[in-house]
Structures are given as structure tokens and as C-alpha cells.
Structure 1
Amino acid sequence: MLQDPLTIRFYQKLTDALVEMWNRGYRADDLRLYLDGYLAALRHSSAIEPYLIHRMEEEAVRFLYDPFNFELSQPEPESDYY
């Protein structure tokens, strides 16, 4: 579980971008490349500690391979009750 506020912020931006890319038609291989590039940029910039990047990577991979994160929400059917 992520606990560092900055790491959580990076994680949220990453997962929001992954969902947005999925909705635009990118698939798992493309998303994995994006994830790898995002993590490489974090490592290169030294924005957060390496062990936090490793934890974030574990959580992001778990997020990426959970199919429920990429389902489109279906609106509830309206009832015809008056």
C-alpha cells in the first residue's frame, strides 16, 4: 500500500492516464510501454526515492492487469414507475 503523499499523487496521475489511454483505444501492450516509460522517467528525475518507485510499480502493474479497472460503467436502467 502506498503511503507517501507524493508517490500517491504520481500513482493517481499514472492510473488516470492508463484508463484514458484505454478508452482511446490503446491496449495492454501499449499501456505497459507507457508504464515502463513513466517509471523510467521517475527514476531518472529522482523525484521520489527508488524504493517508493518500486512499490508504485508493483501497485501499477496490479492495477494494469485487473480487468475491472478498464470496464466502462453502464448506466442504471431507468424504471418506468410513476
Structure 2
Amino acid sequence: MLQDTRTIRYYQQLTDALVYMWNRGYRYDDLRLYVDGYVDALRHTNALEIYLIHRLEEEAMRYLRDPSNFEPTAMPMPEPESDYY
């Protein structure tokens, strides 16, 4: 579980990007490469402590393996128009 605010912010940005890429047609292998690159960039920039980056990577991989995160959301059905004027 992530508790550091900066780590949570990076996690949210990463998972939002994963869903966006999935909806654009990228698949698991592409998303895995994206996560690897994202985490590697965090390591090289020293944006977070190493142990926080490791936790973020674990949580991101858990998110990536859960298929329910990539299911299309149900669109609300429009209400039928009434004939009353």
C-alpha cells in the first residue's frame, strides 16, 4: 500500500496512462514496457527513494495484472423522452 503523497501521485499518473494506452489499442506487452520505462526514469532522476520506487513498481504491476482495471465502463442509458408537452 502506497502512503507517500509523491509516490501516490506518480502511481495515479502511471495508471491513468495505462488505461489511456489500453483504450488506444496497446496491449499487455506494450503496457509492461511502458511501466518498465516509467520506473526506470524515476530511478535515474532520483525523484523518489529506491524503496518507494520498488513499492510503486509492485503496485503498478498488480494493477496491470488485474483485468477489471481495463474493462470498458458501462455508459449510462439515456432516459427515453416523454410525450408530454
Normalised by the shorter chain, which TM-score bucket? over 0.9
Count of equivalent residues: 81
Runs of 4+ in 1 over 3 A off after TM superposition: 76-80
The range that moved more, 27-36 or 68-77, is 68-77
Give the aligned CA root-mean-square deviation in angstroms. 1.2
Gaps in structure 2 of 5+ consecutive residues: none
> Given residue 4 of structure 2, which amino acid in structure 1 is its aligned partner?
D
Please name the residue that 1:33 is paired with: 33
CA-CA distance at 1:75 after TM superposition: 2.4
Gaps in structure 1 of 5+ consecutive residues: none
Matches within 5 A, 1:1-82: 1-77=1-77
Q: Percent identity?
A: 65
Structure with the greater alpha carbon radius of gyration: 2
TM-score, structure 1 as length reference: 0.92
SS in 2 for 1:54: helix
> Given residue 45 of structure 1, which amino acid in structure 2 is its aligned partner?
T
TM-score, structure 2 as length reference: 0.89
